[in-house]
Amino acid sequence: MNLTISKEKALATLKKGFAKAEEFLKDDEKIKDLLLRMEEKLKMVPRIGEQLSHIPVFISMIRSYLKKEYTKAPVGTIVAIISAIAYFLSPVDVIPDGIPLAGYVDDAAIITACLSIVDSDIKEYILWRDSKED
């Protein structure tokens, strides 16, 4: 069994979820439920590298965006993040999550692919968020 996923495949998989992510973004209840489920799943997932450590920032950014506290992020960035979160939560993965540690390799690849698209927007958001905490 091949337990790796190429960057190209991860990006293609992420982009397949953009339409569904746009639907989530239009429905406050669906997006709130998605974010809550993500937080619950994170409690059960072992951390594999830095990739998954970005998920709480993704969730924070989406929440700030929805509350209209942070509106600087392009809609495409928000859609990419929602798509990555939806994939992470999906029971249908390239590598099933039930396989210890290896089951999260594809999830990490999708998060990494998302980060490659939204990295500069995430950095701007973190600067904004940190300046509000001062």
Question: Residue for token digits 């692919």?
Answer: 113
Look at residue 44 and tell me whether its pLDDT is greater than 70: no
Tokens of 18: 């953009």
> pLDDT value at position 68?
95
Cα–Cα dist 99/25, whole Å: 31
User: In which band, very low, low, confident or very high, does the pLDDT at 120 lie, cut at 50, 70 and 90?
Assistant: very high
User: In which band, very low, low, confident or very high, does the pLDDT at 113 lie, cut at 50, 70 and 90?
Assistant: very high
Mean confidence (pLDDT) of the chain: 84
Of 6 and 59, which is predicted with more confidence? Answer: 59
Of 100 and 7, which is predicted with more confidence? Answer: 7
CB-hemisphere CA count at 13 Å for 37? 14
> pLDDT value at position 90?
83
Rg (CA), the chain: 14
Q: Of 46-60, 85-99, 114-128, which has the strongest mean pLDDT?
A: 114-128
Any idea which of 19-33, 36-50, 54-68 has the lowest mean pLDDT?
36-50
Tokens of 84: 């990555």
Look at residue 12 and tell me whether its pLDDT is greater than 60: yes
